[in-house]
Amino acid sequence: MFESLASIGIHLKNILGKAGRCLVVTDTHVWPLHGERLQRALQSVGWEPQVRAVDPGEESKSTQTLDDLYEWALSLEVERATAVLAFGGGVVGDLTGYFAATLLRGVPLVQVPTTLVAQVDSSTGGKTGINHPRGKNLIGAFYRPKLVLSDVSLLHTLSEDDWLSGLSETIKHALIADSGLFSDLSEDWADVLTRRSENLVDLVRRSASVKIRTVAQDEFESGIRMHLNFGHTFGHAIEQVAGYGVISHGRAVAAGMTAATFLSARYTDNLAVDTILEPLAALCPPEWRKLDAARIVEAMTNDKKRSDGRTRFVLLRQPGDAYVTADVDPRLVLESIHRAQQ
């Protein structure tokens, strides 16, 4: 739900029956900015939050941080009914979600996403996990939150990079399943980029809805949910080749969607390539143009979305109409990266 942070304590009470102790996992960037508001919202209706702030950034999605969280929680003698709140962006959400999924074989999870990426994408859908030296999100679980509460007012403190990252996922949802949203986003694009659009809450909410609808149709990612990976097969590889943390996930996906759009055009006549690429242009990270395209292709073959050793791609027929295929000419993959990098 999109609502003010101030209502979190009451919603939590409605869902879990009564207030008591709860665990909050956040990061040391978010907590000084918004922690007091969360704490007040919880304490005002009787919650007793215990707070743990991890380091910001992808490095915290590690077995080491996870072990620290287990030790912390178990030293507090938590019970199966103890709620765990994830208060932060995608990293905090993924890490905390996996922590909640595996602590005592699962405790109630609440996502309170504080970034645009997390609000439109990562906080819903139940994907949780941590990284492994061999790749991102290789250890994880599907685990659904009891509640996702997104407060759009939190987004005004985001860095420019985090904002553009979030817009990448926002527009991705439009591209795979909602052509009307894609038109509305494109029309308002200059104001959306600068966060001044009057339609912001509406656009963000509609984008999140695409994610929620898609996941509801396919919880375990065997069919239509694959569409959400539009731009991601390229994007993950771009992140990896750049070195994790150099290019943000969302902006790597923007670059990935650009390449995927060129690839789509090779299999669909009359794809409106320019219309699609126009809003993406501002989101692509400049650094990615210098990356070795052959290495990106190589990294893609190690992506976990493979089946039978073949790399699967999400391509577009038109904005709002995506499909999955493993039947792609590897030379065209390389070519589409080259074209996108120009």
Q: Which residues here bind its own copies, judged by CB under 8 A?
A: 63, 67, 70-71, 74-75, 77, 79-81, 101-106, 127-129, 132, 134-135, 137-142, 220, 302, 304-309
The CA angle 269-254-330, to the nearest 5 degrees, is: 55
By C-beta, is 266 or 312 nearer to its own copies? 312
Q: Are 271 and 316 in contact (CB under 8 A)?
A: yes
Neighbouring-strand partners of residue 321? 318
Of 61, 225, 227, 251, the active-site residue reads 225
CB of residue 276 vs its own copies: minimum separation in angstroms? 29
Show the tokens assigned to 170: 């926002």
Neighbouring-strand partners of residue 313? 325
Of 21, 146, 199, 221, the active-site residue reads 221
Concerning whether 232 is annotated as a catalytic residue, the answer is: yes
Concerning whether 229 is annotated as a catalytic residue, the answer is: yes
Show the tokens assigned to 106: 């699962």
Q: In 71-94, which positions are buried (b, 16+ CB within 10 angstroms) versus exposed (e)?
A: eebeeeebeeebbbbbbbbbbbbb
CB of residue 339 vs its own copies: minimum separation in angstroms? 29
CB of residue 296 vs its own copies: minimum separation in angstroms? 18
Concerning whether 304 is annotated as a catalytic residue, the answer is: no
Show the tokens assigned to 153: 């007012």
List CB contacts of 144: < 8 A, sequence separation 6 or more: 109, 126, 219
Residue type present at position 293: A
CB of residue 4 vs its own copies: minimum separation in angstroms? 30
CB of residue 110 vs its own copies: minimum separation in angstroms? 18
Concerning whether 144 is annotated as a catalytic residue, the answer is: no
Concerning whether 310 is annotated as a catalytic residue, the answer is: no
Neighbouring-strand partners of residue 135? 132
Concerning whether 59 is annotated as a catalytic residue, the answer is: no
- Determine how many CB atoms are found less than 10 A away from the CB of residue 288: 26
CB of residue 39 vs its own copies: minimum separation in angstroms? 23
Report the candidate in 116, 104, 119, 111 with the shortest Cα–Cα distance to residue 84.
111
CA 101 to centroid of chain Cα atoms? 18
3-state secondary structure of 112: strand
By C-beta, is 132 or 266 nearer to its own copies? 132
By C-beta, is 266 or 305 nearer to its own copies? 305
Burial category of 212 from C-beta neighbours within 10 Å (exposed 0-12, middle 13-18, buried 19 and up): middle
By C-beta, is 76 or 216 nearer to its own copies? 76
Of 29, 34, 211, 227, the active-site residue reads 211
By C-beta, is 102 or 114 nearer to its own copies? 102
By C-beta, is 75 or 270 nearer to its own copies? 75
Of 34, 227, 229, 239, the active-site residue reads 229
Concerning whether 335 is annotated as a catalytic residue, the answer is: no
Concerning whether 239 is annotated as a catalytic residue, the answer is: no
Concerning whether 173 is annotated as a catalytic residue, the answer is: no
Whole-Å CA distances, 307 to 109, 247, 325: 31, 27, 11
Concerning whether 236 is annotated as a catalytic residue, the answer is: yes
Show the tokens assigned to 265: 């055009």
Catalytically annotated residues: 105, 127, 169, 211, 221, 225, 229, 232, 236, 249
